[in-house]
Amino acid sequence: MLQYLHFEDRESWLSGRVGLGASDAAAVCGLSKWQTPLGLWEIKTGRKKAKDLSGNAAVSFGVRAEPHLRGLFLAEHPEYQLEYHPFDILYQEERPWLTATLDGELITETGEHGVLEIKTAQCSSKEDWAEWRDRIPTHYYTQICHQFLATGYSFAFLFALLTGLDGSSSLRTYYFTAESCADDMAWLLDKEESFWKRVQAGTMPPAVLKI
């Protein structure tokens, strides 16, 4: 059963976060460009502090762009009701350690709920652009699967603004269903459950992951 934790402001939301969020999912599996499983384990066990990324230019741009992109998505998809609760943490009652805070919650005319995930990404090479051709980067896909697990919702959109070094930009929309992601969700849940048990036991993750 879906549960909600509501906080009044960002500071209380930050202090109230426990467990694994969607942005942790790729690191758990060894699929993150920015964090290793060991580094994440050290943070979750209190052995080191997470880096403060508030001054990072790319992060700052994403924060500023997010409300505008939310509005653009809604303009393109007026068939959905969009709700935004930035200080809500969602989780399943049986897995309170697997959580999500959504960029947007979509509601259909029939009352079906879905996830809106918003991304901004700079593509500085052909390889970067290729990661977004007919798909999304793997580390972002794991976030979608994690959000399905946390919410129990049936569909998700990833809405992305891609920018090139030459000033070019592209808006991309990707649609997923929980049914189509079911196998990957099961694989991810197994990885996250194993990782969280290691956090609770204080046992380091293996140096080589079996992916």
* Radius of gyration in angstroms for the set of CA atoms belonging to the chain, rounded to a whole number: 17
Do you know the residue count of the chain?
211
Distance CA 177, CA 8 (A): 31
CB 86 within 8 A of CB 80: no
Task: Give how far Cα 207 sits from Cα of 30, 35, 45, 69, 203, Å.
Answer: 10, 14, 17, 39, 12
Higher pLDDT, 164 or 172: 172
Q: pLDDT grade, residue 197 (50/70/90)?
A: very high
Domain map (residue ranges) of the chain: 2-13+20-201
Q: H-helix or E-strand containing 81?
A: strand 81-83
Q: pLDDT grade, residue 54 (50/70/90)?
A: low
Classify domain 2-13+20-201 at the CATH class level: alpha beta
Q: Is 131 exposed, middle or buried (0-12, 13-18, 19+ CB in 10 A)?
A: middle
Q: What is the pTM of this model?
A: 0.93
How far apart are the two ends of the chain, measured CA to CA in Å? 30
Q: How many helices (H) and strands (E) does the chain have?
A: 7, 8
| Nearest CA-CA partner of 108 in 68, 126, 136, 81 | 81
* Residue 105 half-sphere exposure toward CB, CA atoms < 13 A: 19
Distance CA 54, CA 64 (A): 12
CB 132 within 8 A of CB 162: yes
Q: Enter the DSSP assignment of 92.
A: E
Per-residue pLDDT for 88 more than 60?
Answer: yes
Q: Region 39-54: what's the mean pLDDT? A: 86
Task: Summarize pLDDT for 95-129 with one digit per residue, the tens.
Answer: 999 999 999 999 999 999 999 999 998 888 888 88
